[in-house]
Amino acid sequence: MRTPARLSLLAAGLFLAGPVLLHTKLVKAEPGIDATVSQSPAEVRFWFSEKPEAALTSAALMKEDHSPIATVRMKETDDSLVVAGPVPVKLEPGRYMVMWKTASKDGHVVRGTYYFTFDPAAGAKP
């Protein structure tokens, strides 16, 4: 009888996911989530599920060991769901963490982290 257990797990999952659904989500990012890029990114760009408040949106760029590199101030773009800002430094090859932060329509801060890798040799691979 595996079905009831699976159903209750699903129900628990939906319950936990519930409140989060009310908040804006990071849909896509550049440099990409878990992506490998072959050049030091000149900017960070976020695509959100709702219009973000640009003034309350930021990206903190860190090394894999969480030592800070730069904070990127995000500005509005032509697309109301997209904000972008310049990376003020050239990165060394390596793995990086992006800590993003924005505010939902209800004013609650939403934040998350993701990683990307800068590998100059990545573009040469097929």
Q: Which residues bind Cu ion (CB under 5 A)?
A: 106, 108
Nearer to Cu ion, 4 or 18 (CB): 18
At closest approach, how far in Å is the CB of 58 from Cu ion?
18
Closest residue to Cu ion using C-beta atoms: 108
Name which of 97, 112, 117, 96 is nearest 49 in CA terms: 112
Tokens of 27: 């849909």
Contact 69, 62 (CB under 8 A): yes
At closest approach, how far in Å is the CB of 41 from Cu ion?
30
Nearer to Cu ion, 95 or 108 (CB): 108
Contact 100, 46 (CB under 8 A): yes
At closest approach, how far in Å is the CB of 18 from Cu ion?
12
At closest approach, how far in Å is the CB of 109 from Cu ion?
9
Nearer to Cu ion, 28 or 108 (CB): 108
Residues sharing a CB contact under 8 Å with residue 52, sequence separation 6 or more, in sequence order: 24, 46, 74, 81, 83, 102, 103
